[in-house]
Amino acid sequence: MPRSQNLPVAPSDIDAAAQVIAPYAVRTPLLSLPVLDERAGAKVFIKPELLQRTGSFKFRGAFNKLSSIPAAARGNGVVAFSSGNHAQGVAASAQILKMRATIVMPGDAPLSKRERTRGYGAEVVLYDRDRENRETIAREIAGKRGAIIVPPYDDAVVIAGQGTVGREIAEDLSALGVTPDVVVAPASGGGLIAGIAIAVKARFPNTAVIVAEPQDYDDHARSLRAGRREAHQARSRTICDALMAEMPGEITFAINSRLLAQGVTASDEEVRQAMAFAFRELKLVVEPGGAVGLAALLAGRIDARGKNVVIVLSGGNVDADLFARLIAA
């Protein structure tokens, strides 16, 4: 893998994570659908992490992280902060491992994500996204209880777990005798795309790994261009509630700045169209943040024509009424 020396996460860490999560996580398939090939003018493979346990890729990293905590240190539980998918991943992992979990979530997080997090047995603490800092609240709770913080992305063990998505992509394409030209995945803090980049480029060093973000929430694209971490300049909300981190993580950017080819964006309207396309043509229910890579492909933001392209649909946790409104529009 080019430029891979001294990265915070190695392919061997991802291999180890794959062994840890194998008895519990779903090995999601690679889907190839003619209707998408025709639309994109490319050979497109879909990695549907919406079929993953808890409905998103986040279970992978959360379970790997919680499993790494020594048994003697598990008694005081864990604390996480998340808009929903990491929350559910941590809650479900804690339930399996019989640990207490407390999740700090924004009050405007989709109701389905809040309810499902509680359904896994976690305590949910709500905060105001505009006036309060979720990490500060989480650290105060953890400090009082002696609990362990489980970061959503900026953690080497979490990244290794998310990297199993890329490991499966590489293994499945190798089995088919296919070399990917492009792999696209969404990013909030960048843990998923970092793990994917490490795993894919370990086997296919010439593959272009591209990060997809909502329009205006383009902190990864800005940071890649600048060569340093930069915040996005968004002044309004996006329907991609899972992709609203202010800037890339320190650890994730140390990886992504060396391995990613570029960043692309898609507008909320393009994301809506991609969600509707996935539902009507692919028969898949994708949440807005999970569809941004597909949206960028369908909008022509990715140089895909004639190439082998992998699109990661990162999750499918969306309120039923919101989903109905979005695909109807």
Q: What is the mean pLDDT of residues 176-198?
A: 98
User: Phi/psi zone of residue 204: left (φ > 0), alpha (ψ -120 to 50 degrees), beta?
Assistant: beta
User: Phi/psi zone of residue 102: left (φ > 0), alpha (ψ -120 to 50 degrees), beta?
Assistant: beta
CATH of 11-56+157-328, one of 3.40.50.1100, 3.50.50.60, 3.40.1380.10, 3.40.50.2000: 3.40.50.1100
DSSP 190: S
Which pLDDT tens digit goes with each residue over 305-325? 999 999 999 999 998 999 999
Dist CA 179 CA 203 (whole Å): 9
Q: Residue 1: is its pLDDT beyond 60?
A: no
Q: Residue 196: is its pLDDT beyond 50?
A: yes
Tokens of 218: 């383009």
The four Cα atoms 222, 240, 156, 55 give a dihedral, to 10 degrees, of -160
pTM of the entire structure?
0.95
CB neighbour class for 74 (10 Å; exposed up to 12, middle 13-18, buried from 19): middle
Residue 329 contacts residue 272 (beta carbons within 8 Å): yes
Which pLDDT tens digit goes with each residue over 43-64? 999 999 999 999 999 999 999 9
The four Cα atoms 197, 200, 205, 208 give a dihedral, to 10 degrees, of -60
Dist CA 137 CA 259 (whole Å): 33
Q: Which amino acid is at 222?
A: R
**155/4: higher pLDDT:** 155
Dist CA 116 CA 54 (whole Å): 8
Q: At 3, is the pLDDT very low, low, confident or very high (cuts 50, 70, 90)?
A: very low
Q: At 284, is the pLDDT very low, low, confident or very high (cuts 50, 70, 90)?
A: very high
Beta strand 78-81 with 148-149 is parallel
CATH fold, domain 58-153, is Rossmann fold (3.40.50)
Return the closest-CA partner of residue 83 out of 111, 63, 49: 111
Q: What is the mean pLDDT of residues 121-132?
A: 93
Q: What is the mean pLDDT of residues 51-79?
A: 97
Q: Which amino acid is at 326?
A: L
Q: At 129, is the pLDDT very low, low, confident or very high (cuts 50, 70, 90)?
A: confident
Could you give the residue ranges of the DSSP H alpha helices within the chain?
Answer: 11-21, 34-40, 58-68, 85-97, 111-119, 134-145, 156-162, 164-176, 191-203, 219-226, 250-259, 268-277, 292-298, 320-328
Query: C-alpha angle with apex 283: 282 to 287, nearest 5 degrees?
Result: 95
Q: At 108, is the pLDDT very low, low, confident or very high (cuts 50, 70, 90)?
A: confident
What pLDDT was estimated at residue 2? 46
Query: In which residue ranges of the chain is CATH 3.40.50.1100 found?
Result: 11-56+157-328, 58-153
Tokens of 69: 């905590």
- For residue 49, what are the CA distances in angstroms to 142, 170, 234? 30, 15, 27
What percent of the chain shows pLDDT beyond 70? 98
What pLDDT was estimated at residue 5? 61
